[in-house]
Amino acid sequence: MSTVRRIVDLVLDEQSVARRSPEVEHERTVAIFDLLEENDFALVGADAGPYRLHLGVFEQRLVFGVHDEADKKLRDIVLSLTPFRKIVKDYFMICESYYDAIKKLGTSQIEALDMGRRGLHNEGSEVLRERLAGKIEVDHDTARRLFTLICALHIKA
């Protein structure tokens, strides 16, 4: 993996992050850990990384503050939250059902909910990749992890 096409630090705007259930907090923690362990991320037409990413919500917009390794701002990428709203809402509904199912239901119902949850997660990550096209390049796994973090930010927005 290239050391110039990667995020080496991630800062979530804590004012943008709402606290949720322990399951959601766990997903957020795991997403950050996994993202920093393995990712493919590059600004299009700009300085090579590695990058420090500041992620937050400002005035109902998603802000990717991309900084260099020394934390000097390279560029802010600002995206509307609107394209994510329905997917995030559906994702949280199915996640709640999934977490409830783990406590009460059988394996086949849990697997069906998990497949739906993964499908929505993939859909959200593809929307993110489309919205970032021409600005930031990310691979599928990086987009999935970033989508998890967008969900954490979206709750409060």
Domain span at residue 47?
7-156
Q: Is 146 helix (H, G, I), strand (E, B) or coil?
A: helix
Tell me the angle at which helices 140-156 and 82-104 cross, rounded to the nearest 10 degrees.
90
Residue 48: predicted pLDDT: 80
- 2, part of any domain: no
Any domain includes 95: yes
- CA-to-CA separations, 101 to 45, 77, 96, 104, 121, in angstroms, rounded: 46, 38, 8, 5, 18
41 within a domain of the structure (yes/no): yes
- Residue 151 corresponds to which tokens in the numbers above? 């969900």
Structure tokens, 96:
């709640």
Give the pLDDT of the chain (157 residues) as one tens digit per residue.
Answer: 567 899 999 998 877 666 666 766 777 788 899 999 999 999 998 778 899 999 998 888 999 999 999 999 999 999 999 999 899 888 888 877 877 788 887 788 888 887 888 888 899 999 999 999 999 999 999 999 999 888 877 654 4
Which residues are 64's β-sheet partners? 55, 77
- If one counts the domains in the chain, the total is 1
Please state whether 15 falls in left (phi above 0), alpha (psi between -120 and 50) or beta: alpha
Q: Which amino acid is at 107?
A: T
133 is a domain residue: yes
Instruction: Please name which of 143, 150, 90 lies closest in space to residue 116, comparing C-alpha atoms.
Output: 90
Instruction: Give the bridge partners for 9, in sequence order.
Output: 52
Q: Could you give the CA distance from residue 147 to residue 136 in angstroms, rounded to a whole number?
A: 14
In a domain, 1, yes or no: no
Structure tokens at 56: 């937050």
In a domain, 128, yes or no: yes
Q: Is 98 within a domain?
A: yes
What does the alpha-carbon distance between residue 1 and residue 46 come to, in Å, rounded to a whole number?
19
In a domain, 33, yes or no: yes
